[in-house]
Structure 1
Amino acid sequence: MTINTMKKWFSIFLRGIPIGLSLTLPGVSGGTVALILGLYDRIILGIKTLNVKFLLPILLGSLIGIWAGSGFITFLLEQHHNITVSFLLGLVLFSTKVTLGEVKIYNLHSVLILLIFLVLGLFLWNYSVEEISGNSPSYIQLLIAGFVSSVAMILPGISGATLLIILGLYGGVLEAVKEFNFLVLFFYGLGALAGLFSFSWVLSYLLKNHRSLTMMSLTGLILASTRAVIPKKLGILEFLAFLLGALLILILSNDKFKKHVRKLTN
């Protein structure tokens, strides 16, 4: 392995960490983070073509991110709920800058698509991050949870952590990650792999043939997902946390930053 190859491998590995971390954040989509980092299309193609050389460093980085985030996010949501949720709201809301930036055609049809998925998302997002269940899930539930949340890993706008809360499995899965419960992680991972390899084909086709409409639909889902991260009160600290989340997205989605990331990962 040459030095240049090692640098690229390490660069991809490092960008897998925030993707993994985002999977533990209610209201934040791993797919959105991958899109911001300029890795989204390559991940979808890598899953579709089984490009292990590219996927392995992302997987390793993501696992570290999930492990690091599981305990930290639970602590923040329990001890500093409103401030944390306000930060997440800034992240989620301003991530629409990324998806809208991918839209090439704006017309009545595309706007209707956005509105349809916004309404659909609002119907589905009937929960908040208030309640974190720590119940031990069954293996069947874990398979289902893994399959459902894997869609969130590759679909911008869908938060895997929020879906786990809806299924009542968020606390149980995070606890399993913290404690390295092998059986729980095995069944959850098995469901996730099944979802990844089946859904990536559909999404790859949509991005290639209907990119603008796909991105408009994702924007609608992202806007709807803000319902899961609305703080109960908004004070100075909450407002600053919101601005911090927004600023982080603006930095990560900056064209110069994205070009630098893509140069490192190509």
Structure 2
Amino acid sequence: MTDASPNVAPDRTPDHPAGTASEPRVTETRTPGAHAAEPAEPLALPRHRNPLGNLLRGALIGVVETVPGVSGGTVALVTGIYDELIDAGHHLTRAMARLLLGPDRRAGLREHLGAIPWILVIPLVIGMGTAVLTVAGPVARLVETHPQTMRALFLGLVLGSVLVPIRLSDGSWRVPELWRFALGAAAGLAITSLPTSALEPSPWIIAPAAAIAICALVLPGMSGSFILLSLGLYQPTLQAVDERDLGYIAWFGLWACVGLVVIVKLMRRLLTRHHRGTMVVLAGVMVGALRSLWPWQESSGALSAPASDWPLLLGIAVLGVLAVQLLVLVEGRKIARPATTA
């Protein structure tokens, strides 16, 4: 997945540490021992211009979004496209708003559509859609037939991913950052401890569930599939996708778009004005959300003590951590390479 352009903010040092994912895409002036206030708008987002690489990123996001406990936002963060994807979502929603509300509808539409990196967005959407339509059924069956093994694997994948927002927060956490991390962890734990309920998949139940679940696509550590599972809508939704129930899919998609507009606007504001604090909170959310991926769970969702198969599952989890760190290493070197050759 070779793709990063040489557009790097001039005040960033080019020699990123090995294994580091993309740095926060904002221009900052730092003073020793202090973290300067962040500007209102991001600058010099690294562009991912390889369509095949973006297609694979989309496929990865689509696959993990079908698995309870794993977030597509985590994949976007690990593969270095998170900030750029949020920025693209912002311009897309602004384009629609200018078209509907003005002023200068045509000029505003062209302005915001022109700011969207379509070479990232189009392959990403195609990859996501293809993955969801082709693997939704098989992944659901795999999770159902081998729940402990799959949870152990995804536990390792998410645990390895936690290091990404920690690095993007620039480290050197102090008391305020520790409090933010703790609050994020508490929020992740609370959400993933929700009891499972069985709601009738009526249109007015599906609507808010879709709007909330899609937010997890943007929030690393939060799983849309887990939210649907907690509401009792996981199996009906996957079944609708597997059986091509276009009415269910269209209604779900409509309200998912509503939720996506809201969460994208919120996350862009947080990333442009409070990037460091946002990454700290996201790291906490991801740690707290690991509760849903504990391999040994009762059918009710209650956690159990490790069983005799713990060495095997521990090894699988470690493989997951190593796989993510290898991906982070590759992505970090691809982004650092243009800076060193510029």
Q: TM-score, normalised by structure 1?
A: 0.88
Determine if contact 1:121/1:220 at 8 Å carries over to the other structure.
Answer: yes
Determine if contact 2:188/2:222 at 8 Å carries over to the other structure.
Answer: no
* Counterpart AA for 2:257: L
Is 1:150 matched with 2:192? no
Looking at structure 1, the residues matched to 162 and 212 of structure 2 have their Cα atoms a distance apart, in angstroms, of 22
Which residues in structure 2 correspond to 1:62-73 (within 5 Å)? 62-73=128-139
Looking at structure 1, the residues matched to 337 and 260 of structure 2 have their Cα atoms a distance apart, in angstroms, of 26
Looking at structure 2, the residues matched to 262 and 81 of structure 1 have their Cα atoms a distance apart, in angstroms, of 38
Looking at structure 2, the residues matched to 259 and 143 of structure 1 have their Cα atoms a distance apart, in angstroms, of 42
Is 1:163 matched with 2:230? no
> Displacement, 1:121?
2.1
Aligned to 2:144: 78
Determine if contact 1:30/1:152 at 8 Å carries over to the other structure.
Answer: yes
Aligned to 2:66: 24
The runs of 5 or more residues in structure 1 that have no matched partner are 1-6
Looking at structure 2, the residues matched to 258 and 142 of structure 1 have their Cα atoms a distance apart, in angstroms, of 39
Aligned to 1:110: 177
- Tell me: CA distance 1:172–1:25, structure 2 relative to 1, closer, same or farther (3 Å): same
Determine if contact 1:47/1:55 at 8 Å carries over to the other structure.
Answer: no
Determine if contact 2:67/2:140 at 8 Å carries over to the other structure.
Answer: no
Looking at structure 2, the residues matched to 106 and 236 of structure 1 have their Cα atoms a distance apart, in angstroms, of 33
- Tell me: CA distance 1:52–1:168, structure 2 relative to 1, closer, same or farther (3 Å): farther
Which of structures 1 and 2 has the larger relative contact order (alpha carbons within 8 angstroms, sep 6+)?
1
Name which of structure 1's ranges 81-90 and 118-127 shifts more when overlaid on structure 2: 118-127
Deviation digits for residues 23-65 of structure 1 (CA, Å, limit 9, x no counterpart): 1111111111001111111111111101372422211111112
**Count of residue correspondences:** 254
Q: 1:176 aligns with which of 240, 251, 255?
A: 240
Determine if contact 2:66/2:136 at 8 Å carries over to the other structure.
Answer: yes
> Displacement, 1:8?
2.5
Aligned to 2:80: 38
Query: Secondary structure of the equivalent of 1:253?
Result: helix
* Counterpart AA for 2:238: L
Looking at structure 2, the residues matched to 188 and 237 of structure 1 have their Cα atoms a distance apart, in angstroms, of 39
Query: Secondary structure of the equivalent of 1:106?
Result: coil
Looking at structure 2, the residues matched to 238 and 249 of structure 1 have their Cα atoms a distance apart, in angstroms, of 17
The runs of 5 or more residues in structure 2 that have no matched partner are 1-48, 93-115, 297-306
> Displacement, 1:132?
10
Deviation digits for residues 104-126 of structure 1 (CA, Å, limit 9, x no counterpart): 25111001110112122222221
Determine if contact 2:80/2:331 at 8 Å carries over to the other structure.
Answer: no
Give the CA RMSD over aligned residues.
2.3
Query: Secondary structure of the equivalent of 1:101?
Result: helix
Identity value in percent = 29
